[in-house]
Homo-oligomer: A and B are copies of this chain.
Amino acid sequence: MTYTVEIKVMPLKELLDPQGKAVMSGLSSLGLKGVEDVRIGKNITLQIEADSEENARRIAEEASKKLLANPVMEYFEIN
């Protein structure tokens, strides 16, 4: 069966996120008030052929560790 697995890869909370800061200043230039912080990461949707949801998640976790997330700068969450 084919399972859809979503992986969220975000910059570590301890690190600055320059892309997020740029977007924040862009939003305030556009006159949008109230946004106090912006962090930008990746959202990766995998279609995985596996015999169970558990195995699909296992494949997604391996993919995240081996290729999708850089543990020096990012953490990932699998939904």
Contact = CB atoms under 8 A, between A and B. Distances in A.
A67 B36 contact: no
Interface in A22-44: 23, 26-27, 30, 32-44
Contact of A68 (B23, B36, B63, B68): B23
B46 A37 contact: yes
A49 B20 CA distance: 17
B26 A67 contact: yes
A47 B36 contact: yes
B35 A48 contact: yes
Contact of A40 (B33, B42, B55, B56): B42
A42 B39 contact: no
